[in-house]
Homo-oligomer: A and B are copies of this chain.
Amino acid sequence: MSLIVVGSMAFDAIETPFGKSDKIVGGAATYIAWSASNFTRPVKQISVVGGDFPKQELKMLEARGVLLEGVQVKEKEKSFFWSGRYHMDMNTRDTLETQLNVLGNFRPVVPDNYQDCEYLMLGNLAPSVQISVINQLKSKPKLVVMDTMNFWMDTAMKDLEKVIKKVDVLLVNDSEARQLSGQFSLVSAARAIMEMGPKYLIIKKGEHGALLFNDDKVFFAPALPLEVVFDPTGAGDTFAGGFIGHLASKKDISFETMKAGIIVGSAMASFCVEKFGTARLKELTRADIDNRIQMFRELTKFNIELSE
C-alpha cells in the first residue's frame, strides 16, 4: 500500500466573491498529501520548492506521515506562485499571475526507498515531469492515476498523449474531457478518451458531482449541495487524494472500490472548499470525515419497488 504523490508544492493568492487570501501555501501535491494521509501512510511525496517555502509546513506534513525525501528544496530559488480570481459560479476563474520559478526546470528524482510503489498519483503538472517519474520506477505500479488540465492540452499535447497512454485512471473536468476528445457528449468523450489509454476515466463536474467510466459501466457521484463554496482552489487535488488514499487503504482497485473512492474524494473536496487553502483539511478528524461520507450516503439513497 505504498503511495507516491507527484505534483507542485507552491504559493497561491486567491480572490473569490467572498474574500481575498494572502499568499498562502497550496499546490496539487500539498492538497493531495493532506487528503490522502487521512487514509494511508506513508505518502511518498515528489515535488520541488524554493527557499521561501515555510519549513513549518513541511514539518506538519511529516507529522502526518508524508515522506519528503523526494521533495527538492532549492534554497536560493523561489517556489511556484499562482494567483487567480474566481467568478460567482466558482466554476470559472481568471489567472492573474503565474511565476514558474523552481517548477520551470524541475527534474524529479525518485528516491530508492520509494521504489516499492504500488499506487502512483500524478498530480496536475507538466506531462514531461509526470512521464519522467513513471520511467524511473523499476516495477510497474498496481495503479497509476493522473490528473491534468486544459493548459497542457493547449501547450504540450504530444507529451500529454504519451503519459495518458501509460496511466490506468485519468482525471479531468467536463470541459477538459470535451477538449481532449473533441466530443460534446460526455459519454462519447469518455469512450474516445478510454481509447487513448486509460481503462478508467473520472470526469469532475464541480458542484454537479463526478462521473466514473470503465468499459460500458458508469457511476454518478453527487456533490454535496453547499450553502457557500468559499474557495474552490485545490478541490480537485483534494478529491484525487481522497480517491487514491481510499484505494490504497483498501488494497483493491475494482470498479466497486473506485466508486467508494470517488465518494471519499467528493467528501474530502466538500471540506476543502469551506476555507481558504488547506486550512479546513488541517483541522479534520476521522469522525468529521465519516460524518460527511454518511451525508453523501443519505444524499443519494432511495428505494423503489419495481412493478408489483
Binding site for B on A (CB under 8 A): 88-89, 184-188, 205, 208-209, 211, 218-223, 225-229, 256, 259-260, 262-264, 286, 289-290, 293-294, 297, 299-304, 306-307
Q: Which residues of B contact A260 (CB under 8 A)?
A: 302-304
Whether A209 and B219, one on each chain, are in contact in the complex, defined by CB atoms closer than 8 angstroms, is no
Of B208, B227, B306, the contact of A187 (CB 8 Å cutoff): B227
Establish whether residues B186 and A209, one from each chain, have CB atoms under 8 Å apart when the complex forms: no
Interchain CB contact (< 8 A) of A299 among B88, B218, B289: B218
In whole angstroms, what is the CA distance A185 to B89 when docked? 9
CB distance from A205 to the nearest CB of B (A): 7
Report the bound CA distance from A228 to B286 in whole Å: 42
Looking at the complex, which one of B227, B229, B294, B300 makes contact with A306 (CB distance below 8 Å)? B294
**C-alpha spacing A264/B225, complex, angstroms:** 22
Q: Which residues of B contact A300 (CB under 8 A)?
A: 219-222, 300
Q: How far is the CA of A225 from the CA of B188 in the complex (A)?
A: 10
Q: Give the residue of B220, B262, B301, B304 whose beta carbon is less than 8 angstroms from that of A222.
A: B220
CA of A219 to CA of B208, assembled, Å: 13
